[in-house]
Structure 1
Amino acid sequence: MLSSSSSSSSSSELSFDFYAASCPSVEFMVKNTVRAATSADPSVPGKLLRLLFHDCFVEGCDASVLIEGGGTERSDPANASLGAFSVIDSAKRVLEIFCPGVVSCADVLALAARDAVELTGGPRIPIPMGRRDGRVSAASNVRTNIIDTNFSLDQMVKIFSSKGLSLDDLVILSGAHTIGSAHCGAFSDRFKEDSQGNLTLIDSSLDKDYAFQLTKQCPAGASPSITVKNDPQTPLVFDNNYFKVLLAHKGLFHSDSVLVSNGRSMNRVVEFANDQARFFEGWGQSFLRLSSVGVKTGGEGEVRQTCSATN
């Protein structure tokens, strides 16, 4: 499926046997790291998936989001709630022992996000490797390239299209919200509660009973560190329940709810809600396209020694 016209032209330079000679155990080592981290903290898979999205949508899938320092992508407030950086760092440290200077942080991140899906019950997806790490990481590139939780369908389609991704990819990849969690501030503008406990829906696309439950989980004045599961029923399992949640008008974000406000995307939501195998098949294809967005290959970029800093 890499020959899809919506894939980056560089993606054709990625290869399924890229590390066959130079680091044949790379996938085993990354998966073991992700498995151990997930056992210790079940929130890790959702964080790894989100980390890949935020990386690939800014400068392409080049691990630029991992670089620390003032003015970097990672320093932008829109990326303040990203996590699981330590998981990537751990995997990279192991790889540097066995295959020093060989495996890019961009490939580690793509593999880790892929494994996060499989380890939570989703499909196993073979993905090609050979991504190089970017040397540019600027906070100024973040806001114009990532999806905000209050976006309309048209706003999301525009950004996805700029990455060579289709409306189908948008609906399928939104299914990442079947795992993971969100801070209250990401959706609290969809409703308000007065001092008597009366609820007013600001976003009428949200189920009122669900909104009422959310006010109990995110009361006024609550700590900004409180999080809510994206999928209220099977939050730790990668399945098609996210699409069933959307049909019940219980999508946590406005950007979730808009997927059922439009016939173009609604048909796909219904299809995936009714057929998990179809969602998994679509996920495999869309994830391949996502993890190939704007990749650097060959002589571009570098292979970082440490993921949080350029060489």
Structure 2
Amino acid sequence: MMLTYIMLLCLSYSAHSSELAFDFYAASCPMLETMVKDTVRAASSNDPRVPGRLLRLLFHDCFVEGCDGSVLVQGNDTERSDPANASLGGFEVIEVAKNVVEMFCPDTVSCADILVLAARDAVEFTGGPGIEVPTGRKDGKISLASNVRPNIVDTSFSLNQMKHIFSAKGLSFDDLVTLSGAHTIGSAHCSAFSERFKLDSKGNLKLIDTSLDSTYAAELTQQCGASQAQTSITVNNDPGTPFIFDNEYYQMLLAHKGLFESDAVLLDNAKSLKKVEEFANDKNRFFENWAQAFLRLASTDVKTGEDGEIRRSCSVING
């Protein structure tokens, strides 16, 4: 059953996003959310990998320069050009949505808002909670590759490293555990978890991270072969229900089937372990927490007023 958490979201609405509003485009572009939702639905129906890509795209946008669409900009030395963002996808879905919106509401809706709405819709399309999100973000005018590495979470990060990054964005420890649940959908290249294995003298992958379930590890080695560093082979983040947004990620995590080291470390801390167990046992509780954490993520360092612009094309800063 789809859930809407309007009151919870309003209660957790942060001061730094006070210029955003739930009815921001009510007069200027009343069909905005329908247009974005239809675009996401069509793209996701054609390719089940799209929802995971859109959700990941939002994370990589909001953690660098805030939720301002800066990851969408193409060109040398932009965020998008950094090798850490080379595996991102979903850009074309945002561009399609932007083109549709421009036809009916020219020079009105930011790419930053479209990306937030698309990620929200991706979660709902795959079975997650429906969330009311405020809009009114402006697109950023800065997109630098040099800003990427210091601000994003790597899949090999320790819990303390992740806590530091999340705290710098105004996100709590509980938000960290909750937003890790994004791994319930999506996929990753074999290179993203290669540090958990090594190549033996015969060129075969061998497990070196004993925290990983051995049967699951064998499945991963079979899928990746000896090409763990390749970027062409991908595996599902969640081996249980990879295309459904649910609490299966936490259940897999407790079974030591978390794909990344950054997943596995959630079991090494008493506070995060308790949260993992809570979410594994209660999907509704996870959905409630997700709705609030998603709002906080989507409100990170937003640009409003004269601090940003409305891009004509999401891939190009206005000249």
TM-score of Structure 1 vs Structure 2, range by shorter chain:
over 0.9
2:249 maps to what in 1? Answer: 242
Aligned residues: 309
The alpha carbon displacement at 1:13 in A equals: 1.0
Question: Distance between the aligned counterparts of 1:221 and 1:242, measured in 2?
Answer: 25
Which aligned pairs between 1:116-135 and structure 2 lie closer than 5 A? 116-135=122-141
Question: Distance between the aligned counterparts of 1:17 and 1:255, measured in 2?
Answer: 37
The residue type paired with residue 284 of structure 2 is A
Partner-residue secondary structure (3-state), 1:187: helix
Provide, for residues 244-282 of structure 1, a one-character-per-residue CA deviation record: whole Å limited to 9, x for no partner. 000000100000000111101000000000000000000
1:269 maps to what in 2? Answer: 276
CA RMSD of aligned residues (A): 1.4
Question: Distance between the aligned counterparts of 1:230 and 1:267, measured in 2?
Answer: 22
Question: Distance between the aligned counterparts of 2:258 and 2:203, measured in 1?
Answer: 22
- Quick check: 1:11–1:295 contact (8 Å CA) kept in 2? yes
Which aligned pairs between 1:21-60 and structure 2 lie closer than 5 A? 21-60=27-66
The residue type paired with residue 79 of structure 1 is N
Question: Distance between the aligned counterparts of 2:187 and 2:201, measured in 1?
Answer: 27
1:219 maps to what in 2? Answer: 225
TM-score for the superposition, normalised by structure 2: 0.94
- Quick check: 2:198–2:207 contact (8 Å CA) kept in 1? yes
Which aligned pairs between 1:1-311 and structure 2 lie closer than 5 A? 1-2=9-10, 4=12, 7=14, 9-194=15-200, 200-221=206-227, 223-311=230-318
Unaligned runs of 5+ in 1: none
TM-score for the superposition, normalised by structure 1: 0.96
Partner-residue secondary structure (3-state), 1:211: helix
Question: Distance between the aligned counterparts of 2:268 and 2:202, measured in 1?
Answer: 32
The alpha carbon displacement at 1:202 in A equals: 2.1
The residue type paired with residue 252 of structure 2 is V
The alpha carbon displacement at 1:194 in A equals: 2.8
Question: Distance between the aligned counterparts of 2:190 and 2:205, measured in 1?
Answer: 16
The alpha carbon displacement at 1:203 in A equals: 1.8
Question: Distance between the aligned counterparts of 1:10 and 1:132, measured in 2?
Answer: 14
Question: Distance between the aligned counterparts of 2:190 and 2:203, measured in 1?
Answer: 18
- What percentage of residue pairs aligned between the two structures are identical? 68
Question: Distance between the aligned counterparts of 2:204 and 2:99, measured in 1?
Answer: 52
Question: Distance between the aligned counterparts of 1:73 and 1:56, measured in 2?
Answer: 12
- Quick check: 2:65–2:301 contact (8 Å CA) kept in 1? yes
